[in-house]
Structure 1
Amino acid sequence: MKEPSRSLHQNYHDNHYGFPIHDDNELFGRLILEINQAGLSWETILKKEASFREAYDNFDIQKIAAYTEADRERLLGNPGIIRNRLKVNAAIENAKTIMHLQKECGSFEKWLELNHPKTKEEWVKLFKKTFKFTGGEIVGEFLMSIGYLPGAHDASCPVYKEIIEEKPMWLK
């Protein structure tokens, strides 16, 4: 792995992967990134993360839920992100879904908490029923990356101890 790639992965691994996220917009942003990773390398997504953040209004759920056809075309024309119509449509529709979950449960995070604990298979079934473009890999990685499923780090990893101290949901 080249040095910039190693640094990119190292930063994500050491500071983000497996750590709980308590902000709905950031949770949604992670879901957008995981959906866009489908069929691509995580490195590609990490390199484009800042562009995703800019293109998708800093992952602001309310703004994205209100996107128009012009916004959809703007995203599809943006070379800084993944220009896949299904993935762009999923981001917009999933923002609308999360707004509904926020009204129903108080927040996206609370919805996740109310559905915890589940096996990976149960989570996948729930996500496929609730959200667009969410298969087994996407759901599994999303939930591991935010602390809802174990597996982001093993016990021999130095970051594991930090994550345990933050009390991820799979420990509760």
Structure 2
Amino acid sequence: MDDLNRCGWCVGDPLYEAYHDEEWGVPVLDDETLFKFLTLETFQAGLSWITVLRKRQNFREAFDHFDYRKIATYDETKIAELMDNAGIIRNQMKIRAAVTNAAAFMKVQDEFGSFSKYIWQFVDYQPIQNDIPYYKEAPATTELSDQISKDLKKRGFKFVGSTVIYAHMQATGMVNDHQVDCFRYKPVQDLAKKMQQS
């Protein structure tokens, strides 16, 4: 056991703690990782993140390492195969949404040059720094996540409600929602400052 002070939501589960310590809140700028997170978060809708996290490796294998170019071409045979895969969350609507979203993702890339440029423009390419005293006080949605959700839906994305999008923003570092007393709060804040300087 270490004595690091962490956000309360991850404490006690080694997998959750590792995700919190290494990934959550770190700014993600590459399209491949952004698509991976977006896909996993759409599968999370209505479930807990730890449920998805425990199946992440299975998802990676089942969905061609989250290669959106391949996922966009999935046919009914592949969808049926995924529905038979007990290692993932077998929700047909969400599986179909992953295929739809992969195609929509590439359309955004065509329009903006990258999905990263598109999504990060909403925060002016600079992570939002919140001062959350206790993780349960972090919002589930904001006006900004409402706006992004609405825009993504307009572009054909599915399962991208405001709650899913705010979770995506937290995970990919568009917003720093680590508790202020968490040992990761300052390092994540410093990463945002480096972005500002680059």
TM-score (norm 1): 0.88
Residue number in structure 2 paired with 1:141: 167
Q: In the alignment, does 2:147 pair up with 1:122?
A: yes
* Residue 135 (structure 1) shift: 1.1
Larger radius of gyration: 2
* Residue 63 (structure 1) shift: 0.8
Instruction: Please state whether the residue corresponding to 1:115 is helix, strand or coil.
Output: helix
* Residue 84 (structure 1) shift: 0.4
Q: Give, in whole Å, the separation in 2 of the partners of 1:71 and 1:129.
A: 27
Structure 1 unaligned spans of 5+ = none
State the one-letter code of the partner of 1:137: T
Q: Give, in whole Å, the separation in 1 of the partners of 2:120 and 2:17.
A: 28
Q: Give, in whole Å, the separation in 1 of the partners of 2:55 and 2:22.
A: 18
**Post-superposition CA distance 1:107-157 (Å, at most 9, x none):** 111111233347232223223323111112111101111111342x02211
State the one-letter code of the partner of 1:139: I
Size of the aligned set, in residue pairs, is 167
Of residues 99-108 and 119-128 in structure 1, the stretch that sits farther from structure 2 once superposed is 119-128
Q: 1:39 aligns with which of 29, 37, 46?
A: 46
Runs of 4+ in structure 1 off by over 4 angstroms are none
TM-score (norm 2): 0.77
Pairwise mapping of residues 4-43 of structure 1 onto structure 2 (< 5 A)? 6-43=13-50
Instruction: Please state whether the residue corresponding to 1:83 is helix, strand or coil.
Output: coil
**Post-superposition CA distance 1:33-75 (Å, at most 9, x none):** 1111112222211110000011111111111111111111111
Q: In the alignment, does 2:192 pair up with 1:167?
A: yes
State the one-letter code of the partner of 1:143: M
Q: Give, in whole Å, the separation in 1 of the partners of 2:175 and 2:149.
A: 12
Task: Among all aligned residue pairs of Structure 1 and Structure 2, give the percentage whose two residues are the same amino acid.
Answer: 39
Instruction: Please state whether the residue corresponding to 1:166 is helix, strand or coil.
Output: helix
Structure 2 unaligned spans of 5+ = 1-11, 125-142
Of residues 127-136 and 114-123 in structure 1, the stretch that sits farther from structure 2 once superposed is 114-123
Q: CA contact under 8 A between 1:127 and 1:139: conserved in structure 2?
A: no
